[in-house]
Chains A and B, each alone.
Chain A
Amino acid sequence: MKVTIQKWIGVASWKWQVNDDNCGICRMPFDSCCPECKLPGDDCTIVWGECSHCFHVHCILKWLQSQNYQDQTCPMCRQSWKFKTH
């Protein structure tokens, strides 16, 4: 028997690998986006600090911008905030 595929539709799902369900700043689920965005994903990513806490990038940036440079700390543990790069 010969089968001819005439059409196929691929579906993929994705999920952030995070310890927490919600962003500690906006309290929205990480699988959703920050309150300023419409769609989750690359446009509203999650970032980690060297202290290992994570937030929506827009949420942590807004917090850091509202602080003086020397007070730019992690909202969870108050360690000085450094973006984790890897």
Chain B
Amino acid sequence: MSTPARRRLMRDFKKLQEDPPAGVSGAPTEDNILIWNAVIFGPHDTPFEDGTFKLTIRFTEDYPNKPPAVRFVSKMFHPNVYADGGICLDILQNRWSPTYDVSAILTSIQSLLDEPNPNSPANSLAAQLYQQNKREYEKKVSAIVEESWMNE
């Protein structure tokens, strides 16, 4: 079945393969193009370096007019990531634009890792440590970086 959302996702996938952005990858699941698995590699020179963070992206038939639901599957410790992996990022909510694609979504989340927005905390401990105790923050982040290599 080909719908506008599915056709757009095929183009997103083609673009991701032909012009892959550094440090992110993603692909639709085998039996449902509306559900994708993705990986974001922790950016260099950040506490997240060397982490391999897995995510799921769930689209609806309203894509690209409505944003997908993006969630970390790997454990995350970040001011803007909820305990269930949900991400608080304006472009995935009220600042969504139908010109975004999977590549833009993944690179935005990748840059969010090292540029948290402590004003809209989803994890209050992470937000507090980020602002008041960088050392402890970085320790907590290294723990989830190491955890990201397990449960393959």
A-B contact count (CB 8 A): 35
Q: A28 to B101: give the CA distance in the assembly, Å.
A: 13
A:31-76 near B, CB below 8 Å: 34-36, 59, 62-63, 66, 75-76
A25-B64, A63-B65 are known contacts. Are A78 and B97 too (CB-CB below 8 A)? yes
Can you name 29 A-B pairs with beta carbons within 8 Å?
A24-B98, A24-B99, A25-B64, A25-B98, A25-B99, A26-B4, A26-B8, A26-B64, A27-B8, A27-B11, A27-B15, A27-B101, A28-B11, A34-B4, A35-B3, A35-B4, A35-B7, A35-B8, A36-B4, A59-B98, A62-B65, A63-B65, A63-B98, A66-B62, A66-B65, A66-B66, A76-B97, A76-B99, A78-B97
9 further A-B contacts with Cβ under 8 Å, apart from A28-B11, A35-B4, A75-B99, are: A24-B99, A25-B64, A25-B98, A25-B99, A26-B8, A35-B7, A62-B65, A75-B97, A76-B99
Determine the residue in chain A with the shortest Cβ distance to B94.
A71
Count residues on chain B whose CB falls below 8 Å from chain A CBs. 15
The 4 closest A-B pairs by CB, nearest first: A35-B4, A24-B99, A66-B65, A75-B97
On chain A, the residues within 8 Å of B12 by CB distance are 27
